[in-house]
Amino acid sequence: MAPTSVKSVAFALQGLLTLCSAGPVHQQRSDVPDGFYVPAYYPAPYGGWVDSWAESYDKAKALVDQMTLAEKTNITAGSGIFMDEVLGRCNGNTGSALRVGFPQLCLNDAANGVRQADNVTVFPDGITVGATFDKKLMYERGVAIGEESRGKGVHIWLGPTVGPLGRKPKGGRNWEGFGADPVLQGVGARETIRGVQEQGVTATVKHLIGNEQEMYRMFNPFQQGYSANIVQDDRTLHEIYLLPFAFAVHAGVGAVMTAYNAVNGSACSQHPYLINGILKDELGFQGLVMSDWLAHMSGVDSALAGLDLDMPGDVQIPLFGGSFWMYELTRAALNGTVPMERINDMATRVVATWYQMGQDKDFPETNFDTNSNKAVGPLYPAAWPLSPTGVVNEFVQVQDHHHLIARQIAQEAITLLKNKDDLLPLSTSQPLKVFGTAAKTNPDGPNACPDRNCNKGTLGQGWGSGTVDYMYLDDPISALEDRADDVKFYNTDKFPEVDKPTEDDVAIVFITSDAGENTYTVEGNHGDRDASRLFAWHNGDNLVKAAAEKYSNVVVVAQTVGQLVMEEWINLPSVKSVLIAHMPGQEAGQSLTNILFGDASPCGHLPYSITYREEDMPPSVTELIDKALLNQPQDTFSEGLYIDYRYLNHQGIKPRYAFGHGLSYTTFSYTNATITKVTELDTLPPPRPEKGPTLDYSQPIPKPSEGVAPKGFFRIPRYIYSWLSEKEANAAAKDAANEYGAYPDGYTTEQKPGPRAGGGQGGNPALWDVAYKLSVTVTNEGSRNYSGKASVQAYLQYPEGIPYDTPPIQLRDFEKTGELAPGESETVELRLTRRDVSVWDVELQDWVVPEVDGGYKVWLGAASDDLNLVCHVDGLECENNVEGPV
Ligand code: BGC
């Protein structure tokens, strides 16, 4: 784990530093281009009308009804950054209502495990899991993360990440998610959430929405976070960026985190259209919505916009005990600016989620402390030096067999881009010359840099809050030295003096590319890869070139957060094999040697496209938006639906390696495609089911005494409480009597029936009906006598001539075979749902099948540019051995 002091202050410092370096105070609201605006959507829709949540809501309401006002406002916000109570030592901790039996909740990162904890597993990052194209592994990782979270006493796990979706190749946090495609992200999220929540831990899908770059993401009193301008015609929102969230809600996710940035000029944490309209009404989200850390910027507005939980409780300048909610929400209730209905609704959402995950029974107490790695430490670090001390870490072992799952994922993600002359696999008796510092663990230790905010040694994870502290790091060089007879390691990124190579020598060159959260700047990169661009760090490209000059057999292994431009070396005659190891986590060594030496065939596939040049993508995604001195920076999604392979195919630009590409040591044939119709479709889905009954949250404004601390209560400095002083509470009540409360234009307390596209978790349930089933037989036909696993990917092409502009092909489903021995076959099944064959119609505000049973083509194969089977929806016939669409 990272040293205590660094660990505790890094985050707070970020807020203060951005503040000190920011420009002059500026109040202008925004410079959003024409056509992008935020419609009002009030009131916040209630939850509990979906059958599977009804019981949890009934129980929650019964509990919330017993709470005082200050208890309700205490459970809807954090008690302050680095502020713990006896049970909470996590990245975020809510207040409690212990009098009625509701505990403080522990909220903890990271998207690849349990952050800042001990005796846990560093799972491969999301991008690595995406590269497996394997639903089972996605699920198993979710189960294991859920088990570790629960074992550590984490109620709400802060993952998975699906936003950023990966629109910008240089975007800092793409590696937390599963790849640059909404279905890959959606399936990754769904499987993860299922696995985590089956362990009784709430998952948090994040960040809603448009957080596609790191720089200038945050609001502070001096600068506005950028505006992601997505919702002009709302089709791009629905078909690309919202889709993974729809998958998550459909899977019953318990929590959603809003993004730091704004959308169409309004900050996500107080965005009534996004939270009330899209998330809670259209997608029918039943759980709780929290702000990202220090992204809460208003009391009344965010409450009315549908936010339920303010995290970590502080205002944007933390550590002074200030909050927009807690005591301020108590005041807002007493003076009538936030209706009690809303407060009861948000408190009920928090408690209902807790019941829904079964956390009311036998939930382990939190037994680790994100602020310290010592057994005993300050109970309230932010109150230092006045904090009492106590036991903060109990070192509970939760790893179990999880390293095996982590290793399997790291291994099955490894993506073989090229393998000229079948150089791989190697034999263990070949003399190996290994180059690059990434082959070996950082000599200062794998956790020497807090939140992995350096790129030194083996790169197992990106940097920022999406990281886990290593208990160990199985690095490639140890695994190579264990397995091979003759390994010479040059621990340098500058090509060294070497002996004259022999003919048998194989050079293995390790290169990296890192990215992370804007909390830290690493080697000039502000989270995004703004300095390194898409080139290997530490002169990695030169290292490869120099090795290629000397040796005639070179294997490149890239530990990379995402796309790399490889043109300087990819075609050099001696660069024969290239492996992308992605972000392998703690199991970087054996997972790689198992592939290098042929214990297993590679079976990873690229979760993004690798282009020849950065400029092969449109400037709206390649260029990072810059700070706007006085105004709000604008990130306008002018490319619309056309990101990654959708753009390249549309423009007819060939990538160096296409989305989905990945070779094996063997070859597979794909034959016998079939398609069957499962559900009769109409242009529009059947009418949505009506909302089930919701609870009655109405209540007169409580007595001021419900918001006042008990006499003689000792306040811990900087701790955030929900109580007002008696004088303040009485003054608020007086304001209410003078009808001080005024709601925004368009506000109403009357619940709406909900939009036509809604009706269940994830929208109209009919959207998830399976419309067509497809099957394909995959046979291991390789002549090299290797077994292996194959990926089957299904891409949809919409009928020609429909009145909607659609990308040439779009991923709709994927499956992986089991291990196939030479000659062995497996038939896999894939599915297309009603939504898969629909488009979002901006005028109808619904999903429309543009041509029922019409000229759709479903392309099947191993990658987006390797699709040799096609099934026709019209006529329900398939052809084998055809030329692919792109
Ligand atoms: C990140 C979130 C994270 C939170 C808590 C924020 O900086 O954006 O993803 O969950 O911190 O650590």
Residue-wise pLDDT for 839-860, tens only, equals 999 999 999 999 999 999 999 9
CB atoms within 10 A of CB 452: 29
Distance 294 CA to ligand 1 centre (A): 9
pLDDT at 738: 79
Distance 668 CA to ligand 1 centre (A): 42
Q: How confident is the model at residue 26 (pLDDT cuts 50, 70, 90)?
A: very low
Q: What is the mean pLDDT of the chain?
A: 93
Question: Strand, helix or coil at 592?
Answer: helix
Residue-wise pLDDT for 72-128, tens only, equals 999 999 998 876 544 458 999 999 999 999 999 999 999 999 999 999 999 999 999
| Token representation of residue 730 | 């009485």
Q: Does domain 403-605 have CATH number 3.40.50.1700?
A: yes
How far apart (Å, rounded) are the C-alpha atoms in residues 827 and 830?
A: 10
Mean pLDDT of 455-464: 98
- As a three-state string, the secondary structure of 799-820 is CCCCCCCCCCCEEEEEEECCCE
How far apart (Å, rounded) are the C-alpha atoms in residues 754 and 691?
A: 8
Q: How confident is the model at residue 1 (pLDDT cuts 50, 70, 90)?
A: very low
- C-alpha closest to that of 576 among 428, 430, 418: 418
Among residues 134, 292, 530, 541, the one annotated as catalytic is 292
Q: How confident is the model at residue 231 (pLDDT cuts 50, 70, 90)?
A: confident
pLDDT at 21: 31
**Ligand 1 pocket residues where CB is under 6 Å:** 91, 109, 158, 206, 292-293, 465
Nearest CA to ligand 1 atom 7: 293
pLDDT at 14 over 50: no
Mean pLDDT of 299-326: 93
Closest ligand 1 atom to Cα of 260: 8
| Token representation of residue 177 | 């998610």
How far apart (Å, rounded) are the C-alpha atoms in residues 343 and 340?
A: 5
Dihedral of the CA atoms 515, 581, 614, 546 (nearest 10)? Answer: 100
Which residue do the tokens 């709470």 mark?
67
Q: For the chain, state the CA radius of gyration.
A: 27
Distance 694 CA to ligand 1 centre (A): 32
DSSP state of 241: I
Residue-wise pLDDT for 340-396, tens only, equals 999 999 999 999 999 999 999 999 999 999 988 899 988 777 777 777 888 889 999
Q: Terminus-to-terminus CA distance in the chain, angstroms?
A: 48
Q: Which helix (H) or strand (E) holds 481?
A: helix 476-483
Question: Of 11, 156, 292, which is best to mutate to test ligand 1, by the most ligand atoms within 8 angstroms of its C-beta?
Answer: 292
pLDDT at 89: 85
Q: Does domain 669-687+759-880 have CATH number 3.30.450.20?
A: no
Instruction: Reply yes or no on whether 292 is catalytic.
Output: yes
Those residues whose C-beta lies under 8 Å from the C-beta of residue 515, and which sit 6 or more positions away, are 170, 171, 172, 173, 174, 175, 462, 463, 525, 527, 528, 529, 561, 562
Mean pLDDT of 3-12: 36
Distance 290 CA to ligand 1 centre (A): 11
CB atoms within 10 A of CB 680: 9
Closest ligand 1 atom to Cα of 109: 10
pLDDT at 24 over 80: no
Mean pLDDT of 586-598: 98
Closest ligand 1 atom to Cα of 464: 7
How far apart (Å, rounded) are the C-alpha atoms in residues 791 and 830?
A: 11
How far apart (Å, rounded) are the C-alpha atoms in residues 120 and 145?
A: 9
Order of all β-strands in the sheet with 227-229: 266-267, 262-263, 227-229, 634-636
pLDDT at 460 over 60: yes
In percent, the amount of the chain with pLDDT more than 70 equals 95
Q: Name the residue ranges covered by the structural domains of the chain.
A: 38-361+385-391+704-736, 403-605, 669-687+759-880
Distance 261 CA to ligand 1 centre (A): 13
Distance 566 CA to ligand 1 centre (A): 32
Q: How confident is the model at residue 633 (pLDDT cuts 50, 70, 90)?
A: very high
Q: Compute CA distances 53 → 49, 245, 290, 353, 451, whole Å.
A: 7, 18, 19, 9, 36
CB 569 within 8 A of CB 545: yes
H helices present in 179-255, as ranges: 182-197, 235-236, 243-250
Question: Strand, helix or coil at 676?
Answer: strand
The predicted model scores a pTM of 0.96
Question: Of 81, 158, 213, 218, which is best to mutate to test ligand 1, by the most ligand atoms within 8 angstroms of its C-beta?
Answer: 158
How far apart (Å, rounded) are the C-alpha atoms in residues 144 and 402?
A: 6
pLDDT at 38: 82
pLDDT at 198 over 70: yes
User: Which one-letter amino acid corresponds to residue 5?
Assistant: S
pLDDT at 461: 98
CB 492 within 8 A of CB 509: no
pLDDT at 632 over 80: yes
pLDDT at 12 over 80: no
If phi over 0 gives left and psi between -120 and 50 gives alpha, with beta otherwise, what is residue 735? alpha
The alpha carbon dihedral of 25, 27, 28, 29 has a sign of: positive
CB 172 within 8 A of CB 271: no
Q: What are phi and psi of 483, to 5 degrees?
A: -95, -40
Nearest CA to ligand 1 atom 3: 465
pLDDT at 11 over 60: no
Could you give the angle at which helices 135-152 and 182-197 cross, rounded to 10 degrees?
Answer: 40
Distance 207 CA to ligand 1 centre (A): 9
Q: Which helix (H) or strand (E) holds 546?
A: helix 540-550
How far apart (Å, rounded) are the C-alpha atoms in residues 573 and 663?
A: 19
Question: Of 94, 109, 463, which is best to mutate to test ligand 1, by the most ligand atoms within 8 angstroms of its C-beta?
Answer: 109
How far apart (Å, rounded) are the C-alpha atoms in residues 815 and 19?
A: 48
Those residues whose C-beta lies under 8 Å from the C-beta of residue 21, and which sit 6 or more positions away, are none
DSSP per-residue letters across 72-102: HHHTTBBS-TT---SS--SSEEB--BGGGTB
Nearest CA to ligand 1 atom 9: 465
Distance 31 CA to ligand 1 centre (A): 27
Residue-wise pLDDT for 638-652, tens only, equals 999 999 999 999 999
pLDDT at 19 over 60: no
Mean pLDDT of 477-505: 97
- Half-sphere exposure of residue 425, counting CA atoms within 13 Å on the CB side? 23
Closest ligand 1 atom to Cα of 159: 10
How far apart (Å, rounded) are the C-alpha atoms in residues 703 and 77?
A: 21
pLDDT at 30: 62
H helices present in 259-362, as ranges: 272, 300-305, 327-334, 340-356
pLDDT at 35: 83
Q: What is the second-level CATH architecture of the domain 38-361+385-391+704-736? A: Alpha-Beta Barrel (3.20)
How far apart (Å, rounded) are the C-alpha atoms in residues 559 and 622?
A: 21
Q: Compute CA distances 324 → 181, 310, 876, whole Å.
A: 36, 8, 58
The alpha carbon dihedral of 276, 281, 284, 286 has a sign of: positive
Those residues whose C-beta lies under 8 Å from the C-beta of residue 100, and which sit 6 or more positions away, are 63, 66, 67, 71
Query: For the chain, what's the residue count?
Result: 886
Nearest CA to ligand 1 atom 4: 293
Closest ligand 1 atom to Cα of 161: 9
How far apart (Å, rounded) are the C-alpha atoms in residues 245 and 176?
A: 15
How far apart (Å, rounded) are the C-alpha atoms in residues 195 and 733?
A: 47
pLDDT at 190 over 50: yes
Nearest CA to ligand 1 atom 12: 465
Closest ligand 1 atom to Cα of 107: 5
Could you give the angle at which helices 327-334 and 340-356 cross, rounded to 10 degrees?
Answer: 130
Those residues whose C-beta lies under 8 Å from the C-beta of residue 737, and which sit 6 or more positions away, are none
Residue-wise pLDDT for 709-762, tens only, equals 998 888 888 889 999 999 999 999 999 887 776 676 667 788 999 999 999 999
How far apart (Å, rounded) are the C-alpha atoms in residues 340 and 338?
A: 6
User: Which one-letter amino acid corresponds to residue 736?
Assistant: A
How far apart (Å, rounded) are the C-alpha atoms in residues 278 and 41?
A: 9
How far apart (Å, rounded) are the C-alpha atoms in residues 512 and 580?
A: 10
How far apart (Å, rounded) are the C-alpha atoms in residues 644 and 212?
A: 13
